[in-house]
Chains A and B, each alone.
Chain A
Amino acid sequence: MRKTSHAGEAVARVLIWAAAVFVMALLAFIITYLLVKGLPMIDWAFLTEIPRDMGREGGISSAIVGTLMITAIAVAIATPFGIGTAFYLSEYRKAGVATRLIRFCAESLAGIPSIVYGLFGFIFFVIYLNMGWSALSGGLTLAFMILPTIIRTSEEAIRAVPGIYRDVSFSLGATKWQTIYKAVLPSALPGIANGLILSVGRCIAETAAVIYTAGSVLRMPSSIFSPTRSMAVHFYILASERISMDNAYGTAALLIILIFIINVVANAIVNGLAKKGA
């Protein structure tokens, strides 16, 4: 038999290849540009010193700490609620009006622009609950923002667990909770972790929701009740108010490196988890 050539095949291959190359080139350009501009700014002092003179001088240590605090609070609060809701939707509740309602709410939440979350957080946490501008207010607001992502990715991961695992676990005399905890959760964990990684990335990169709730103070936060400024907000203010483009690029580069590190570490953990079972 002889190989036949189709014009369509060749065209499709070229188009698909071109799409992939275009996307990769674009990404590579953005990242290279930021790193070239920003990396020279990053040194030990940049990482460890507090910003001085509005950020023209000094480092960004307080913004790094603030970012990590806000992100940690958001993920710590949203994770149990998100995963709990996902298990409720997929394991405890038959498909019906209630599940559709919850899913509809979660999807609506996902579509709300982050600045609206910021406004809500400002009114509810900062003013009504009198938490003031603080890492806590910011973290709580971001928790609301990432909740839909965590619910949806977790639910998908749980639904992807083969039904036979549940049958097996029940057939060995496990109760419902034992089945979820010992048979379903371990196989859903890599998928759930993926959702969490996405959420961490969104928290680190968020500006609009944070600027209204955590504030934009340059001091080193002393507790979760202190106002603080996240790296993304710092970058935004430095750039938009033309305070220091150099330090803005430095911050942006560090932001990218941070997200990159988190992705690598999280992927290693997820792969470790996945390998234990299959």
Chain B
Amino acid sequence: MRRFFLAVPACFLFLGLYLLASSAEKKPAESSPATYVGNEVCQACHAPAFEKFSNTVMGRIFLFNPRNETEKRACENCHGPGSNHVAAGGGKGVGGMITFRKDSGESAEVQNQPCLTCHERGIQTYWKASTHASRGLACVNCHTLMEKTSGKQLAKMTDITPFGVHRAEIEVCGQCHLQRKAQLLRSSHMPLREGKMVCSDCHNPHGSPNPAQLRQNSVNENCYTCHAERRGPFLWEHPPVLESCTNCHEPHGSVNDRLLKVTDPRLCTQCHIHTRHPATPRPLRPLSPSVGPSVFAFNRSCTNCHSQVHGSNHPSGKFYTR
């Protein structure tokens, strides 16, 4: 009975969405195949946009320093040949031009294809296999090309104040990754909200062959980019540390000190229950005459003594105390 009461509203929801989608405007059918008309024709009607585009890197290359016939086409390289558009007297969506506006109705695949003609190498090599591509993200969801913004032509601007720098990239990624954006404001954090790091320092949003679209081949190799001192190898390794830094740390931000996922000593107690002392759930202050205060509960907890927890190269460092 419960399933019936869930299914009925679900059906109505889908029906409503379908009707909504069906009422969306459809593109008119094209006439004869279009041909290229040249930049000057585009400029005649779209002068302000042309002027802004000419100040971007792509604009400088296409309009002033083209290296081949494809780049010489400039505007029509991305928007498609414009003869039908011109013949019809212009207008939004007229003449089969590819538009990149949010309300254009174009699929991400159609919008991305002009970009991928050139940008399917380097950091974009893995785009077609990426999670973002499979979720129907368009390049223009993150980038804007018609005017100069940030160095990466992101759709948002970096906000620079004397009190700090708020990078455009964090706002762009934060459009969808709401939880991660909120985590950056946690007490223990890396310097992203201060503008010293950005998401793409660790992740490649265009795709990579690595988990979570990381730039490096493993989580640890990613962290070693800045924290090379922990790379080792060590004489005495701490295996869960070697496998993944995220066994203990939450890199996006944590309410616990040192980006720890779980407050210590419980973090260590999750694994180290059987050996020696840490299993005792000691109080911070003594509860009775026979139970004294616990050095495991205050200050740096287990690392008050076991400070070399990432690994030790000392012959006597088996217990990570030397």
Q: Do A and B bind each other?
A: no
Measured CB to CB, the residues of B under 8 A from A are none
